[in-house]
């Protein structure tokens, strides 16, 4: 079964996310662009994921609980999970690994926690873009232990990426799947890394970018579990 996806979407909870990135706007834009599955991946928090999932109920759109986590090597990892229980557990680990830093909304932007009606429930006070003290390897192992997957994010970018920071993919890391940004050549990167499953997502911070990559995956069933299973398997 072929599914159209965008695994890397930020909400208004991310300080870099536009305030129009509300649960209803994200779901409606995803449906308008004929996406089958999306991943919600705010920086170091999953507090808007459940609201997006609630809005998507009955629409046929699969919403994968996710989070973008920055390692102490300054590498961004796209972490995706099968359910809210597992991502909340990841959130607890991430919270313990971050030093509290107060958000300056005037400088970095508001961090809005929203409900299924797009109403503001709270403004997150801790700056979410502040890195963790977890190594990339620890992030990967934790995600797998909780039934999810950690994918090196936007590896083509000149900063905050596995390739830009380390220059190569360390042998022995459990990373069957890689992600490139919307600006990279999909064909070029699939040829460069033939042993990995290559994904390409929008990393959308504004509504107009959702679904811009128009990529698909082949899965056995139209379920979150089937998608996670594929990403964990990669090209093996």
Look at residue 185 and tell me whether its pLDDT is greater than 80. Answer: yes
The pair of structure tokens assigned to 235 is 């090209």
- Phi, psi (5° rounding) for residue 142? -65, -45
Question: What are phi and psi for residue 45, nearest 5 degrees?
Answer: -155, 145
Angle, alpha carbons 233-9-201 (nearest 5°): 50
Structure token digits, residue 23: 């649960």
- H/E run at residue 230: helix 224-233
The 10s digit of each residue's pLDDT in 87-129 is 999 999 999 998 778 888 888 889 999 999 999 999 999 999 9
Beta strands (DSSP E) in 127-186 are: 149-152, 177-180
Round the average pLDDT of the chain to a whole number and report it. Answer: 96
pLDDT, tens digit (0-9, with 9 covering 90-100), for 189-215: 999 999 999 999 999 999 999 999 999
């Amino acid at each position: 079964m072929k599914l159209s996806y965008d695994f890397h979407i930020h909400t208004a909870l991310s300080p870099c996310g536009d305030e129009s990135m509300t649960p209803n706007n994200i779901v409606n834009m995803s449906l308008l662009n004929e996406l089958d599955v999306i991943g919600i991946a705010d920086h170091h928090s999953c507090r808007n994921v459940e609201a997006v999932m609630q809005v998507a109920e009955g629409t046929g759109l699969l919403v994968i609980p996710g989070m973008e986590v920055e390692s102490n090597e300054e590498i961004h990892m796209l972490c995706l999970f099968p359910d809210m229980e597992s991502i909340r557990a990841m959130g607890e680990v991430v919270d313990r690994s971050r030093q509290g830093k107060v958000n300056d909304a005037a400088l970095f932007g508001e961090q809005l926690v929203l409900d299924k009606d797009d109403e503001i429930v709270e403004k997150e006070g801790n700056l979410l873009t502040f890195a963790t003290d977890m190594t990339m390897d620890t992030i990967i192992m934790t995600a797998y232990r909780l039934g999810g997957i950690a994918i090196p994010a936007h590896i083509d970018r000149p900063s905050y990426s596995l390739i830009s920071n380390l220059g190569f993919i360390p042998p022995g890391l459990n990373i069957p799947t890689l992600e490139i940004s919307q600006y990279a050549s999909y064909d070029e990167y699939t040829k460069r890394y033939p042993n990995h499953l290559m994904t390409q997502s929008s990393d959308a911070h504004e509504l107009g970018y959702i679904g811009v990559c128009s990529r698909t995956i082949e899965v056995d069933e139209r379920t979150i579990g089937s998608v996670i299973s594929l990403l964990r398997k990669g090209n093996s």
